[in-house]
Amino acid sequence: MADIESDEEGAVVSSEIPEVTQQEIEVAPAPAESPKEEVPEKLGDNDDESPSIWQRIKDLFPCLRYNEDLRRVTANNREENAQYKYANNVIKTAKYNIITFLPINLLEQFLRIANFYFLILVILQAIPGISSVPVYSTLVPLLGVLATTAIKDAYDDIKRHISDYRINSRPADIVKPDTDETNLKVRQALPETADMKDNENDLGSFNGYVECEVPNNRLHKFVGSLAWNNEKHSLSNDQILLRGCRLRNTEWMYGLVVYAGHDTKLVKNSGRTKFKRTHIDNMMNKMVLFILGFLGFCVTVTLIGSAIWESLYGTNFQVYVPFDTRFDNPAKIAFVQIISNIIVFNTFVPISLYVSVEVIRLGLSFIINWDLKMYYETNDIPAIARTTTLNEELGQIEYVFSDKTGTLTQNIMKFRKCTINGVKYGEPTVESKPIDFSPWNPYAQDDFEFCDNDLVELCRSGKDPFVEDFFKLIALCHTVLPSQDAEGKLDYNAQSPDEAALVSAARNLGYAFTTRTPFTVSVDLLNREQHGLPSSVNYEVLNILDFNNERKRMSVIVRDPETGKLTLYCKGADTVIFERLDPSCDELQSTTLEHLGTYATEGLRTLVLAKKDIGIDEYTEWSKEYTEASLLTEGRDLAVDKIYNKIEQNLILIGATAIEDKLQDGVPETIANLARADIKIWVLTGDKLETAINIGYSCKLLTEEMKIFIVNSEEKAEVRERLQDAKDWIDKKDSRPEPTTDEPQGPPYGIVLTGQTLRHALKADMEMLLLETASQCKAVICCRVTPLQKKKVVDLIKVHKKAVTLAIGDGANDVGMIKAAHIGVGISGLEGQQAVLSSDYSFGQFRYLERLLLVHGRWSYHRMTLFLKYFFYKNFAFTFSQFLFAFFCGFTAQTLYDPGFIAVYNVIYTSFPVLAIGILDQDCTEKSCLQNPRLYIAGQKGKRFNTQIFLISLLRGICVAIVVFFVLYGFTYLNVYHAGYEWDYQSFGYAASGALIFIVNLQMAMDTNYWNPVIHIFIWGSILSWWVVPPFLSNVPYFYNFNVLSYYGVSNEVLASFHFYFYTFLAMALALLPVFFARIILTELFPSLLDDVRLSEDKISSKERAEWFKGHIQRALPGKKEELLEEEGRVTPVSSGLLRHQRSSYAFAHEEGFGSHILTGRYLGANEKEVHSERTRRNTLTLGRPGSRPKKPSPLEVSKSAMTLPSDSKTLKALDEVQGSASASPVIELEVSTKKDEKESLVETID
């Protein structure tokens, strides 16, 4: 790809793009909810996009920017374009370079209050006469924290530099004059400019100009026009290639830059990610504030004690320690005492707390990434932790909000049933067996299953005109592209699984779609052969009225080659088609509606089919209006939709299709287990009411013993009344005492709400009633909801319940709720990558959610809480002993411990064990976590870490400090400890430090539940380090001579004393044995569920844990994943048999935009200009003669009549992915009126 960083608007650029694999195709995600959203929260790798200073200045001072209402760009005219001051094409998201990294990064770090606090302490310690602690005692740990953070920031910025380089190597947003692409499905050049191809003279002399909309963030829409040679040509999204996309199967492309740099749609969609904080983060901040308050209390006590001591005893020591003349009055002494004691007690505030938390979270993220039991081998999709800040939040989830299609279901469609002219087909019977179509149908597919012989016979005979029209419509009304597979067999490339299922069904039943040209669709009607007619029929395609999420339908206008009759075939949602039917279809509509209800209760997705015969005069007039509307630059979409709607009236109903979308493997078991963990699951779907209820039963969200409340009302007063009735019923029937155990206590109620209901219930005056009612139900299903309603439902729980929420989905319409929830999970499925790009975690199947929460989430929460309890405990044990020493040193801010020990206490002696357990500890095996989901409830209720546990940890630390100090103080009365030496200040501090290290590390060993080599090394290594590091330093003359460490020779005397070992043993016994026996008593007399589970784990658990540890270590090594997968021989779990089929109603997954591509023939290999001329010739010569037959085909038509796409299906699928990801818009579900006499449907759109 050519580097065009300096390109400006108006430049005609060439981009040489090598062929890439399907996985390399990159597109920008769609906006979260609507085109008007200016700053979505996340975009791929550029989460920390930071605009330049100049960009910020222009934002602050609009006068510096060119104010444009309409953008005009002239080709090959830099002088004219320069006057508009358009942006260049360089985007910079990196924060630093080699020169600026150190100063800017340090500035950013010191803007954090904790780091700035310790910087001030370092500065104060450097002032002579203020601190009794050497400056390095605080400087060393501060540098460690700064270095660790700097390394992380440098790593992140290197990734941003790489991303910038990659992005700046891409073109800007360009209009395509030409390309050599022959199979392009997504973008096309205008026929008027296509002839230039790669002729540099023609391109250099091209002087057309583009007028288009101003820069915006609407990825799926572009409105503009090209003026050239006194003609004006309409431009749409079909002619623009966005920055961030890669082309497949083309070597070069020329384009006109219309948006560059920060004006491109990709950058307009980028912005800073909304930072998500966990509940533990918020709790830690409050606890740090409490510790600061406690520090202030200690400083105040020492200040008062110093004043009293100075007035009573201070003068007695002036003979030995004269006062410093600089501090000769009480005010100065008080100031020095405050500062000095803050410095001594600064370790109350854990300087390494936050960086340690980030290290632990990073390690937990790697463990999730390495978990092969969450690896979806079928599609090669691993589990990915896309954030490192939310792992412990996974252990506190109370509400899960889930999409249905593609999340709970497979999004793999199978044609099962249909209703034609009021007759149902495909109903299974006891004798039903799958039919073998191969003896009479050369197009039969082995994987197609159908069991209704009556319909097959009608298809083969061709005697029923409704059956004929039904399958002709399916074979003609679509945007599927035919190709050939490796064996030369006919294959279909569809942009939605629904279309593929329908066209395949028609193919197997004898209506095989075979080829497509810009003008025709060829269908093999196999029943014609028995009448002596050729089976292949080439229908002329005049127009494709494309599908979009608001129209909810697709139509095609074709001409029969034998009769010359024009017919409009239409398929779409029942609500949309029914309101456009001819009055003569009322009776058939009623029957079909009844059948649709039956299909919905069986979990089948439905489409209604209708047709209309069109006269030549009617079509000629309509075609003229359509051409005029399509050339508009403003309001084009609305005008075209209006023209579409004009001809899609008075339709004749034919029937409806029913397609099955099966549940994913393991979905019922996963939902049932999560429910046992007291996790409330809400399904938010666009399906019908009946479909929603049935999917609830299928996936075990709803059970037979539940009472289900259904609120399906349109009137606001009725919605309020029905919600209040449900709440009153629950309150009356569920007047039970508060739960006293960890058993799930949710009432056996479920509620189903429609989108129409939510439109009223989510308003401010009714949302609390909705919340109170729904939150008392174990299962909630919201059907016919829009993407915006999904997000509002999540926000309702977040804001008012203060509960931890998780949203999971796989499509662009799920992005809003994924970003709104505390945790967002994306499923890598068949609907693109928008959900994954916006998520915090992603994997390939819904069933992995069980393991993510009950295993990784619970473990992460346990590890983080164990780390925090121990971290505060060890810091208080260390610092409070210095506070006690103040009472015995005249409150002079003298430190108890060696300054070198103070400097490395939180770096060497106690940091590694706590990090090890914070990443690797397990309080029970993963098997026990899954078999006992009630263990998860402790995290939801915050039982592992709360204010009470925090205070107990501090109290335990204070108790250890009292034991360490006063037991040793008692030994000082013995006066001697070795070879006649007395206990002096330095020996006292050295002995106290040893006892402290032994106690806090042995306490860590007592708290460890899962021993592995890493934890062994860190705990025993930390204890051993005290026997090595201080003796080494205290016996090296360098440290003694330079006064860096004044404890020269102390270790030799202390370690040679028997009293030291006796004191240490006694202190450990007094500090640890009470905790040990208290735990035994509590476990025996008041065992918790966790205690019972751990006792029930047999001896094999240690072996399982050893294998788990070994596996994760190996998975971190290159080349081990495939080997381990082969060794494990993992079998994908299969869901148990279900009594009901998966239900769904209309939920067509088709996307807008392919119809116009097909009609131009650009990616079908045709010359667009010839196609345009040929279509004009057809319209002017043939349409004017009613009843006339098509004329002899032109040479162009003959050359294209047997055209099929090349067999490169991967290319087609890859390009389809580009189209789906680049232009996908949120699904807007149509809300159904419950009033039968009301014909006008209600639509909730999202602008």
- In the chain, what are the helix, strand and coil shares in percent, each to the nearest 5? 50, 15, 35
d(CA 8, CA 259): 8
Asked if residue 1087 belongs to a domain, the reply is: yes
User: Of the ranges 137-141, 378-382, 392-396, 956-960, which one carries the lowest mean pLDDT score?
Assistant: 137-141
pLDDT surpasses 70 at 539:
yes
Check if the beta carbon of residue 144 is closer than 8 Å to that of residue 911. no
Residue 1101, pLDDT score: 54
- The answer to whether the Cα torsion of 1073, 1074, 1079, 1081 is positive or negative is positive
Asked if residue 1185 belongs to a domain, the reply is: no
The pair of structure tokens assigned to 696 is 């609830």
Residue 380 a catalytic site member? no
Which residue's structure tokens are 């197009």? 443
Check if the beta carbon of residue 34 is closer than 8 Å to that of residue 1226. yes
Read off the pLDDT of each residue in 351-368 and give the average, rounded to a whole number: 86
pLDDT surpasses 60 at 23:
no
User: Within 10 Å of residue 1055's Cβ, how many Cβ atoms?
Assistant: 16
Domain CATH code at residue 618: 3.40.1110.10
Residue 1076, pLDDT score: 92
Start-end of H helices in 734-814:
755-761, 767-774, 787-801
d(CA 908, CA 1025): 8
Residue 1088: pLDDT band with limits 50, 70, 90 = confident
Residue 992, pLDDT score: 92
pLDDT surpasses 60 at 2:
no
Q: Domain count of the chain?
A: 5
The pair of structure tokens assigned to 1187 is 């009843």
Q: Is 251 annotated as a binding residue?
A: no
> Do 151 and 18 share a structural domain?
no
Closest CA to 817 of 697, 685, 936, 698: 685
Pairing of strands 399-402, 680-684: parallel
> Do 211 and 148 share a structural domain?
no
* Residue of 178, 238, 403, 491 with catalytic role: 403
Residue 1129, pLDDT score: 40
The pair of structure tokens assigned to 955 is 């109290």
Indicate the residue type of 176. Answer: K
Read off the pLDDT of each residue in 317-329 and give the average, rounded to a whole number: 62
> Do 771 and 868 share a structural domain?
no
Burial of residue 1162 (number of CB atoms within 10 Å: 0-12, 13-18, 19+) = buried
Residue 537, pLDDT score: 93
267-295 residues labelled b (16+ CB within 10 A) or e (exposed): bbbbbebeebebbbbebbeebbeebeebb
pLDDT surpasses 50 at 1189:
no
Higher pLDDT, 1215 or 818: 818
Read off the pLDDT of each residue in 563-571 and give the average, rounded to a whole number: 94
DSSP 905: I
- Examine the fold and report which residue of 846, 875, 899 is the final residue of a domain before the chain moves on: 846
d(CA 117, CA 139): 12
pTM of the model: 0.69
Q: Is 814 annotated as a binding residue?
A: yes
pLDDT surpasses 60 at 736:
no
> Do 528 and 653 share a structural domain?
yes
Read off the pLDDT of each residue in 398-406 and give the average, rounded to a whole number: 88
Q: Is 605 annotated as a binding residue?
A: yes
**Gyration radius (Cα) of the chain, Å:** 37
pLDDT surpasses 70 at 768:
yes
Asked if residue 1203 belongs to a domain, the reply is: no
User: Of the ranges 700-709, 1067-1076, 1124-1133, 1235-1244, which one carries the lowest mean pLDDT score?
Assistant: 1235-1244
Check if the beta carbon of residue 962 is closer than 8 Å to that of residue 884. yes
> Do 118 and 3 share a structural domain?
no
pLDDT digits (tens, 9 = 90+) for 714-733: 888 999 999 999 899 888 87
DSSP string, 1057-1092: -HHHHHHHHHHHHHHHHHHHHHHHHHHHHS--HHHH
pLDDT digits (tens, 9 = 90+) for 1033-1059: 777 665 544 444 467 778 888 888 888
- Examine the fold and report which residue of 224, 241, 272 is the final residue of a domain before the chain moves on: 272
For the chain, the distance separating the N- and C-terminal CA atoms, rounded to the nearest angstrom, is 35
> Do 181 and 241 share a structural domain?
yes
Residue 154: pLDDT band with limits 50, 70, 90 = confident
Which residue's structure tokens are 């006590």? 301
Q: Kindly report the average pLDDT of the chain as a whole number.
A: 77
Asked if residue 1244 belongs to a domain, the reply is: no
Q: Is 1180 annotated as a binding residue?
A: no
> Do 884 and 754 share a structural domain?
no
> Do 167 and 225 share a structural domain?
no
Q: Is 405 annotated as a binding residue?
A: yes
Closest CA to 873 of 948, 942, 944, 960: 960
Higher pLDDT, 277 or 955: 955
- The answer to whether the Cα torsion of 1190, 1196, 1202, 1203 is positive or negative is negative
Residue 27: pLDDT band with limits 50, 70, 90 = very low
Torsion of CA 1189, 1194, 1200, 1201, to 10 degrees: 30
1042-1049 contacts at long range (C-beta below 8 A, 24 or more positions apart)? 1044/134, 1044/136, 1044/900, 1045/898, 1045/899, 1045/900, 1046/986, 1047/898, 1047/900, 1047/986, 1047/990
Q: Is 685 annotated as a binding residue?
A: yes
The pair of structure tokens assigned to 170 is 């891409």
DSSP 857: I
pLDDT surpasses 60 at 51:
no
Give the structural domain span for 460. Answer: 409-660+1148-1179
Torsion of CA 724, 730, 731, 734, to 10 degrees: 180
pLDDT surpasses 60 at 69:
yes
pLDDT digits (tens, 9 = 90+) for 255-310: 888 888 778 876 665 544 466 778 888 888 888 889 989 999 999 998 888 888 87
Check if the beta carbon of residue 730 is closer than 8 Å to that of residue 776. yes
> Do 177 and 155 share a structural domain?
no
d(CA 809, CA 791): 12
Asked if residue 1217 belongs to a domain, the reply is: no
Q: Is 550 annotated as a binding residue?
A: no
Please enumerate in sequence order all residues whose Cβ is within 8 A of that of 215, keeping only pairs 6 or more positions apart, or say none. 71, 259, 263, 264, 265, 268
Q: Is 686 annotated as a binding residue?
A: yes
Residue 569, pLDDT score: 96
pLDDT surpasses 70 at 1124:
no
Asked if residue 932 belongs to a domain, the reply is: yes
d(CA 992, CA 514): 87
Residue 370, pLDDT score: 92
Residue 655, pLDDT score: 95
pLDDT surpasses 50 at 1241:
no
> Do 463 and 493 share a structural domain?
yes
Residue 963, pLDDT score: 94
Residue 242: pLDDT band with limits 50, 70, 90 = confident
Q: Is 499 annotated as a binding residue?
A: yes
d(CA 720, CA 766): 7
pLDDT surpasses 60 at 1222:
no
Read off the pLDDT of each residue in 33-48 and give the average, rounded to a whole number: 32
pLDDT surpasses 50 at 167:
yes
The pair of structure tokens assigned to 96 is 């630093």
d(CA 1081, CA 1090): 15
Q: Is 687 annotated as a binding residue?
A: yes
Residue 451, pLDDT score: 87
Three-state secondary structure call for residue 52: coil
Q: Is 547 annotated as a binding residue?
A: yes
pLDDT surpasses 80 at 234:
yes
The pair of structure tokens assigned to 827 is 């499923």
Indicate the residue type of 382. Answer: P
> Do 648 and 762 share a structural domain?
no
Q: Is 164 annotated as a binding residue?
A: no
- Examine the fold and report which residue of 144, 171, 198 is the final residue of a domain before the chain moves on: 171
pLDDT surpasses 60 at 40:
no
Higher pLDDT, 983 or 274: 983
Higher pLDDT, 1059 or 128: 1059
Higher pLDDT, 880 or 901: 880
Domain CATH code at residue 825: 3.40.50.1000
> Do 813 and 694 share a structural domain?
yes
Asked if residue 1051 belongs to a domain, the reply is: yes
* Percent of the residues in the chain that have a pLDDT greater than 90, as a whole number: 27
Pairing of strands 481-484, 490-493: antiparallel
d(CA 348, CA 959): 15
d(CA 819, CA 43): 12
Residue 394, pLDDT score: 93
Read off the pLDDT of each residue in 637-666 and give the average, rounded to a whole number: 91
Closest CA to 244 of 1225, 1221, 1154, 1157: 1221
User: Of the ranges 578-587, 695-704, 1045-1054, 1132-1141, which one carries the lowest mean pLDDT score?
Assistant: 1132-1141
Residue 863, pLDDT score: 93
* Percent of the residues in the chain that have a pLDDT greater than 70, as a whole number: 73
Please enumerate in sequence order all residues whose Cβ is within 8 A of that of 86, keeping only pairs 6 or more positions apart, or say none. 8, 9, 66, 71, 73, 260, 263
Asked if residue 671 belongs to a domain, the reply is: yes
Pairing of strands 384-385, 566-572: unpaired
pLDDT surpasses 50 at 967:
yes
Residue 402, pLDDT score: 92
Residue 956, pLDDT score: 94
Torsions phi, psi of 607, nearest 5?
A: -135, 140
Indicate the residue type of 39. Answer: V
